[in-house]
Amino acid sequence: MSSDSAAGGASTRTRERLPPEIWILVTGSFIIAVGMGIVSPALPTFATSFDVGVTAASLIVSAFAFMRLVFAPASGKLVSWLGERPIYVWGIFIVGLSSTACAFAQSYWQLLLFRGLGGIGSTMFTVSGLALLIRLAPPHLRGRASGMWGTSFLLGSISGPIVGGVMIGYSLRLPFLVYGIALYLAAFLGWLMLRNSALAAKEGDDGAPVITIREALGEHAYRSALLSNFSKGWTVQGVRIALVPLFVTQALHLSQSMSGAALSVFAVGNAAVLLVAGRLADSRGRKPLVLTGLAVAALGSASLGFAESAPLLLGASLVAGVGTGLMTPAQSAAVADIVGARGRGGPVLATFQMAADVGAILGPPMAGALADVLSFRAAFGVTGLVTAAALLMWLAAPETLRKPAAEHHRDEGDDRAADEPERSAGR
């Protein structure tokens, strides 16, 4: 088959419509992200208002990720027992309660406790949402579905930090209240729109094989995805939220609103490439997008420490966001390829999520300690090295995207036809 025909076939398949349930997940992701973005610039500043240092403030971010990590195995089992749909709704609602409680925290330790408890709900809706996404999306549209899900989250993140930066000018507690309301809305939307869905209903035990963690760890691509997700957790969920606002105010001596702008610019770069990256991951393969994204993200993360003005800060944030956006859909699609079309691999998905949580747990206190003892430049430099390590791991990983059987047979037939003249010439 000619390259043009192959590209045309891939293009036709990636233009197919996604199931409506995926669009419901996309909408819920957007609502959640708006609230999360509103809280991002307020969280470390709210922590330091209780007279604690950078390292202690960073632990607020790590506490959330730590509870996600601890509860992830239980979330995978709950999804298997009760199905993705109820766990998805209850998980969002629990995080809403946590955020509301944070708004009324009267001490650092109360804030640490309330924020940490929100991690339980977070891992519930993350594991269940990812399992639904994998089960509902056709194999050749997994990159596109992951890109849409990620784009909705990032579009919410673009507006959220800017709004949050304005809100903290009035009150450090207001963003947490708004976040709670947004989560209650997302939980209600998920319950309302998915309650009668046959596709989203709990699957019965039909004897389909369930991939185990041991089997997944035997795949080099899965091990590579664990490390790249670890680096994403360290950088995006950890250091970006915990250190960038403090870097803006303490090192660059800029206003709090600039920290919100930096977080939003990262989200803009991320969202700008997610859809394209998802389509390319479906048509060209997962590995090229992951490698490119990791390289760009490592450069952007390390460059943050060398920013000495607002334009340089925003430029480095944009580069880091683009790199993360290129990598994320392809990485998720690679894991989905390994799990399989039915998504019957809750523990495998939970472990994949846990890798990011470990990064989010270790990143803020370690980078915060480097900032306290050495400099912010050292903290962001180590962050770039963590991403570069994931890049090296992926270099030896195989491609996980497989051609449809019909296309594979056509290719074999074309190869035999191309070889026939050579055999004739040989005779």
The CATH number of whichever domain residue 130 belongs to comes to 1.20.1250.20
375 in any annotated domain: yes
Residue 418 domain-assigned (yes or no): no
pLDDT of residue 390: 92
Per-residue pLDDT at 353 = 79
Cβ contacts of 251 within 8 Å, gap of 6 or more: 376
pLDDT at 420: 46
Distances (CA, A) of 54 to 74, 235, 292: 32, 17, 32
- The pair of structure tokens assigned to 97 is 């309660």
Determine the Cα–Cα distance for residues 403 and 139; give it in Å rounded to an integer. 10
- Quote the CA–CA distance of 348 and 217 in Å, as a whole number: 9
With respect to residue 125, please indicate whether it lies within any of the assigned structural domains.
Answer: yes
- Greatest Cα pair distance, the chain, in angstroms, is 89
Q: Which domain holds residue 361?
A: 19-196+211-409
10 inside domain = no
Instruction: Look at residue 351 and tell me if it is in a domain.
Output: yes
Q: Is the pLDDT of residue 422 over 60?
A: no
- Cα–Cα distance, 408 to 395 (Å, whole number): 25
Question: Residue 420: inside a domain, yes or no?
Answer: no
* pLDDT above 50: residue 6: no
CA distance 263 to 242: 11
Q: Is residue 422 part of a domain?
A: no
Distance CA 112, CA 102 (A): 9
Q: How confident is the model at residue 296 (pLDDT cuts 50, 70, 90)?
A: very high
pLDDT band at 403 (very low <50, low <70, confident <90, very high): low
Pick 243 or 177 by higher pLDDT.
Answer: 177
CA distance to 12, 62, 417, per residue, from 72 (Å): 37, 15, 52
Distances 278 to 144, 254, 275, 286, 327 between C-alpha atoms, Å: 4, 36, 5, 9, 9
Q: Which residue has the higher pLDDT, 100 or 305?
A: 100
In this model, does residue 5 exceed pLDDT 80? Answer: no
Number of domains the chain is built from: 1
Structure confidence at residue 42 as a pLDDT band (50, 70, 90): confident
Span 272-287, average pLDDT: 84
What's the whole-number average pLDDT of the chain?
77
248 located within any domain: yes
- Residues in the chain, how many? 427
Task: State percent of the chain over pLDDT 70.
Answer: 83
